[in-house]
Amino acid sequence: DAGVTQSPTHLIKTRGQQVTLRCSPKSGHDTVSWYQQALGQGPQFIFQYYEEEERQRGNFPDRFSGHQFPNYSSELNVNALLLGDSALYLCASSLEFREMGQDTQYFGPGTRLTVL
């Protein structure tokens, strides 16, 4: 059973460019969340997708956008890259249990983005 997969593993961009990161959730999961982890910090929540819609968003600017596809995979897009966007971007998937509450989020290995 494949876990959460992310691509690419590493990425180098220059300021002002745009980037797209991809995530495939764990088999059977329908919810995808994205996190940004700066060096030496804990992950920070960017947004969460469920039923192909963004249903929760953290304190990130509109330069950060996303998408969820019918097969539950997801993309994270960042426009007008800044040096401060350099970080490890983590994707997590989970299964929505409306009655049972919080299900476990399983994390992928991340994409390391470097902005020069």
What residue ranges bind another protein (CB under 8 A)?
4, 31, 33, 35, 40-45, 48, 50, 55-56, 58, 90, 92, 94, 101-110
Report how far residue 91's alpha carbon sits from residue 22's, in angstroms, rounded to the nearest whole number. Answer: 9
Question: How distant, in Å, are the alpha carbons of 10, 47, 52, 67 from that of 57?
Answer: 25, 4, 14, 13
Q: Least CB distance from residue 101 to another protein, whole Å?
A: 7
Q: Which is nearer to another protein, 92 or 115 (CB)?
A: 92
Identity at 70, one-letter amino acid code: P
The residue (of 7 and 17) whose beta carbon lies closer to another protein is: 7
Choice between 17 and 51, CB closer to another protein: 51
Backbone angles phi, psi at 12, to 5 degrees: -120, 125
Residue 75 Cβ vs another protein, minimum distance, rounded to whole Å: 18
Determine which helix (DSSP H) or strand (DSSP E) holds 42, and give its type and residue range.
none
**Shortest reach from residue 55's CB to another protein, in Å:** 5
